[in-house]
Structure 1
Amino acid sequence: MYHNYLKIALRNLLKNKLYSFINLTCLSIGTSVVVLLVLYINNEWTFDQFHAKHQRIYRAWVKEHTPDKVFFNTLTPFVLGQELRDNFPEIALLARYLTLNAQIKKGNFTERENVHAVEPQFLKMFDFPLLRGNVDRALADLHSVVITPEMAEKYFGEPAPIGKNLSLQIGEQWVDFTVSGVIQKAPENSSIQYDLLIPFAITKTFMSPNGMASWTNVNVETYVMLQKANQAREFEAKIAPFIDNKVAADYKPGKYHVGLQELSDIHLNKDFPEGIIKVSDSRYPYILAGIALLILALACINFTTLSIGRSVSRAKEVGVRKTTGARRGQLMAQFWSEAVVTAMLAVVVGMLLAQLALPAFNTLIDKKLSIAYSLKTFVALGGLTLLIGLFAGAYPSLVLSAFSPIKSLRGATTSMGNNRHLVLRGLVGFQFVLSILLIICTLVMKQQMNFIQNKNLGYHKEQVVVLPYARTGVRLTDLWTEGKTVLDRLHNELGGKPGMGDVALSTHTFGSPGWMNVGYREQGSKQFRTFRMNGVDENFVSMYGIQLLEGRNFSNTTLADQRAVIVNESYAKSFGLSLGQLMPPPFQEYTVIGIAKDFNFESLHTQVQPLLLATDPIGVVQKGSDFSFDDSPTPKISVKIAGDNLPAAITTLRLAWKQAAPEQAFDYAFLDQNIDQLYRAESRLSSMISLAAGLAIFIACLGLFGIATLTIAQRTKEIGVRKVLGASTLEIVFLLNKNFSILVLAAAVIATPLALYFLQQWLADFAYHVNIKWWVFVVAGLGAIAITLLTVSYQSIRAATVNPVKSLKTE
Structure 2
Amino acid sequence: MPKSSNFKIFQSEPILKNYFKIALRNLTKNKLHSGINLIGLTLGLGVSILIFFFVQFELNFDDFHQDRDTVFRLERLEKSDGEGGRSYSTPVLTASTFKSEFAQVTHATQLISASAQAYLDESTTQNQEYMMVSPDFFEIFSFELLEGEKSQVLKDKFSVALTETVAKKYFGDANPFGKSIRLKMGNNFEEYQVTGLLADIPANSSIEFEILMNNLNMDYSISNESQTSWYNVYGDTYIKTTNSEAKYAIEAGVEGMMKKALGTDYKEGGYLFSLQPMADIHLSDDPNSGMAETTRPSLLWILTGIAFLILLIACINFTTMAIGRATTRAKEVGVRKTMGAEFGQLVFQFLTEAFLITISALILGLLLAEALLPTFNDLFEKQLELVYGPVQVLILVGLLLGITAMAGAYPAFFMSSLRPIQVLKGTLSIRFGKQALRKGLVAFQFFISFLLIASTLIMVNQMNAIRNFDLGFDQEMVVLVDVPEVPSTSFTTSINAGFAQAELYRQALTARSEVKSAGITISTYGDNAFWNGGFPTEDGKQFKFRLNFVGGDYVKTMGLELAEGRELNPLPGSDSSAVLINETFAKAMKWDDPLGELLPSVRINPHQIVGVVKDFHHNSLYNAIEPVILAKNPEIIFSGINMLMISSATNPKVIVKGTGTDFEAFRAMLEEEWKRVFPLEAFSFSFMDEAVESQYRADERLGKMVFLAAGIAILIAAMGLLAMAALSIAGRTKEIGIRKVLGASSLSISWMFNKEFLYITLIGVLVALPLSWYLMQDWIAQFAVKDWPSWISFLVLALAGIGFTLAIVSAQSFRATQMNPVKTLKDE
TM-score by length of 1: 0.96
Deviation at 1:67, TM superposition (A): 2.7
Deviation at 1:339, TM superposition (A): 0.5
Say whether the 8 Å CA contact 2:605–2:636 is kept in structure 1.
no
Question: Which of the residues 686, 689, 701 maps onto 1:672?
Answer: 689
Task: Give the distance between the partners of 1:65 and 1:810, measured in 2 at CA.
Answer: 88
Aligned residue for 2:684, secondary structure, equals coil
Residue of structure 1 equivalent to 2:445: 431
Residue of structure 2 equivalent to 1:398: 413
Task: Give the distance between the partners of 1:272 and 1:255, measured in 2 at CA.
Answer: 25
Does the alignment pair 1:235 with 2:221? no
Deviation at 1:248, TM superposition (A): 2.1
Identity %: 36
Q: How does 1:202-241 map to 2 (within 5 A)?
A: 202-241=217-256
TM-score by length of 2: 0.94
Aligned residue for 1:536, secondary structure, equals strand
What 5-or-longer segments of structure 2 have no aligned partner? 1-14
Task: Give the distance between the partners of 1:272 and 1:485, measured in 2 at CA.
Answer: 33
Deviation at 1:744, TM superposition (A): 0.9
Task: Give the distance between the partners of 1:558 and 1:632, measured in 2 at CA.
Answer: 22
The one-letter code of the counterpart of 1:266 is I
Task: Give the distance between the partners of 1:56 and 1:531, measured in 2 at CA.
Answer: 37
Deviation at 1:617, TM superposition (A): 2.9
Say whether the 8 Å CA contact 1:479–1:635 is kept in structure 2.
no
Q: How does 1:315-394 map to 2 (within 5 A)?
A: 315-394=330-409
Does the alignment pair 1:566 with 2:580? yes
Task: Give the distance between the partners of 2:264 and 2:483, measured in 1 at CA.
Answer: 37
Residue of structure 2 equivalent to 1:700: 717
Residue of structure 2 equivalent to 1:773: 790
Aligned residue for 2:22, secondary structure, equals helix
Residue of structure 2 equivalent to 1:164: 179
Deviation at 1:769, TM superposition (A): 2.1
Residue of structure 1 equivalent to 2:322: 307
Post-superposition Cα deviations, 1:487-543, rounded to whole Å, max 9, x if no partner, equal: 3322343344353331101121124642111111111x2111111111112411111
Residue of structure 2 equivalent to 1:734: 751
Residue of structure 2 equivalent to 1:96: 110
Question: Relative to 1, partners in 2 of residues 1:373 and 1:68: Cα closer, same or farther, differing over 3 Å?
Answer: closer
Deviation at 1:557, TM superposition (A): 6.7
Say whether the 8 Å CA contact 2:205–2:292 is kept in structure 1.
no
Task: Give the distance between the partners of 1:419 and 1:257, measured in 2 at CA.
Answer: 68
Task: Give the distance between the partners of 1:452 and 1:207, measured in 2 at CA.
Answer: 39
Say whether the 8 Å CA contact 1:717–1:810 is kept in structure 2.
no
Residue of structure 2 equivalent to 1:632: 649
Say whether the 8 Å CA contact 1:580–1:592 is kept in structure 2.
yes
Question: Relative to 1, partners in 2 of residues 1:351 and 1:275: Cα closer, same or farther, differing over 3 Å?
Answer: closer
Say whether the 8 Å CA contact 2:553–2:570 is kept in structure 1.
no
Q: How does 1:117-156 map to 2 (within 5 A)?
A: 117-156=132-171
Question: Relative to 1, partners in 2 of residues 1:471 and 1:171: Cα closer, same or farther, differing over 3 Å?
Answer: farther
Post-superposition Cα deviations, 1:583-621, rounded to whole Å, max 9, x if no partner, equal: 123347332222221111111000000111112233212
Deviation at 1:738, TM superposition (A): 1.9
Deviation at 1:106, TM superposition (A): 2.4
Deviation at 1:342, TM superposition (A): 0.8
Residue of structure 2 equivalent to 1:682: 699
Task: Give the distance between the partners of 2:354 and 2:669, measured in 1 at CA.
Answer: 66
Count of aligned residue pairs for this structure pair = 809
Aligned residue for 2:498, secondary structure, equals helix
Question: Relative to 1, partners in 2 of residues 1:732 and 1:579: Cα closer, same or farther, differing over 3 Å?
Answer: same
Question: Which of the residues 61, 65, 69 maps onto 1:51?
Answer: 65
Q: How does 1:474-623 map to 2 (within 5 A)?
A: 474=488, 475-511=490-526, 513-523=528-538, 525-556=539-570, 561-577=575-591, 578-583=593-598, 584-586=600-602, 587=604, 589-623=606-640
Residue of structure 2 equivalent to 1:116: 131
Deviation at 1:215, TM superposition (A): 0.8
Task: Give the distance between the partners of 1:677 and 1:195, measured in 2 at CA.
Answer: 23
Deviation at 1:389, TM superposition (A): 0.8
Question: Which of the residues 20, 32, 54 maps onto 1:40?
Answer: 54
Say whether the 8 Å CA contact 2:519–2:655 is kept in structure 1.
yes
What 5-or-longer segments of structure 1 have no aligned partner? none
Residue of structure 2 equivalent to 1:466: 480
Task: Give the distance between the partners of 1:484 and 1:153, measured in 2 at CA.
Answer: 33
Question: Which of the residues 798, 803, 806 maps onto 2:815?
Answer: 798
Does the alignment pair 1:180 with 2:195? yes
The one-letter code of the counterpart of 1:53 is D
The one-letter code of the counterpart of 1:340 is F
Task: Give the distance between the partners of 1:248 and 1:528, measured in 2 at CA.
Answer: 20
Say whether the 8 Å CA contact 2:287–2:295 is kept in structure 1.
no
Question: Relative to 1, partners in 2 of residues 1:662 and 1:121: Cα closer, same or farther, differing over 3 Å?
Answer: same
The one-letter code of the counterpart of 2:109 is A
The one-letter code of the counterpart of 1:687 is K
Residue of structure 1 equivalent to 2:26: 12
Which piece of structure 1 moves more, 40-49 or 339-348? Answer: 40-49
Post-superposition Cα deviations, 1:198-236, rounded to whole Å, max 9, x if no partner, equal: 111211333111101111111121111111122211221
Deviation at 1:420, TM superposition (A): 5.8
Say whether the 8 Å CA contact 1:185–1:194 is kept in structure 2.
no
The one-letter code of the counterpart of 1:165 is S
Task: Give the distance between the partners of 2:672 and 2:288, measured in 1 at CA.
Answer: 40
The one-letter code of the counterpart of 1:585 is S
Deviation at 1:545, TM superposition (A): 1.0
Question: Which of the residues 212, 216, 231 maps onto 1:201?
Answer: 216
Deviation at 1:337, TM superposition (A): 0.9
Say whether the 8 Å CA contact 1:536–1:614 is kept in structure 2.
yes
The one-letter code of the counterpart of 1:792 is V
Question: Relative to 1, partners in 2 of residues 1:571 and 1:470: Cα closer, same or farther, differing over 3 Å?
Answer: same
Question: Which of the residues 65, 84, 89 maps onto 2:98?
Answer: 84
Task: Give the distance between the partners of 1:318 and 1:434, measured in 2 at CA.
Answer: 33
Question: Relative to 1, partners in 2 of residues 1:470 and 1:85: Cα closer, same or farther, differing over 3 Å?
Answer: farther
Say whether the 8 Å CA contact 1:582–1:588 is kept in structure 2.
no
Say whether the 8 Å CA contact 1:464–1:671 is kept in structure 2.
yes
Say whether the 8 Å CA contact 1:91–1:224 is kept in structure 2.
yes
Question: Relative to 1, partners in 2 of residues 1:614 and 1:76: Cα closer, same or farther, differing over 3 Å?
Answer: same
Residue of structure 1 equivalent to 2:3: none
Which piece of structure 1 moves more, 367-376 or 269-278? Answer: 269-278
The one-letter code of the counterpart of 1:551 is G
Question: Which of the residues 62, 65, 87 maps onto 1:73?
Answer: 87
Post-superposition Cα deviations, 1:705-762, rounded to whole Å, max 9, x if no partner, equal: 1111100100111111111111111222222222212211111111022201221111
Deviation at 1:376, TM superposition (A): 4.5
Deviation at 1:313, TM superposition (A): 1.2
Provide the aligned C-alpha RMSD in A. 2.0
Say whether the 8 Å CA contact 1:512–1:675 is kept in structure 2.
no
Aligned residue for 2:575, secondary structure, equals helix
Task: Give the distance between the partners of 1:765 and 1:725, measured in 2 at CA.
Answer: 62
Residue of structure 1 equivalent to 2:455: 441
Aligned residue for 1:517, secondary structure, equals strand
Question: Which of the residues 748, 754, 760 maps onto 2:771?
Answer: 754
Aligned residue for 1:94, secondary structure, equals strand
Post-superposition Cα deviations, 1:383-406, rounded to whole Å, max 9, x if no partner, equal: 321111111101221111111111
Question: Which of the residues 698, 710, 733 maps onto 1:716?
Answer: 733
Which piece of structure 1 moves more, 582-591 or 443-452? Answer: 582-591
Task: Give the distance between the partners of 1:480 and 1:127, measured in 2 at CA.
Answer: 36
The one-letter code of the counterpart of 2:406 is F
Task: Give the distance between the partners of 1:261 and 1:495, measured in 2 at CA.
Answer: 49
Task: Give the distance between the partners of 1:388 and 1:202, measured in 2 at CA.
Answer: 58
Say whether the 8 Å CA contact 1:467–1:667 is kept in structure 2.
yes
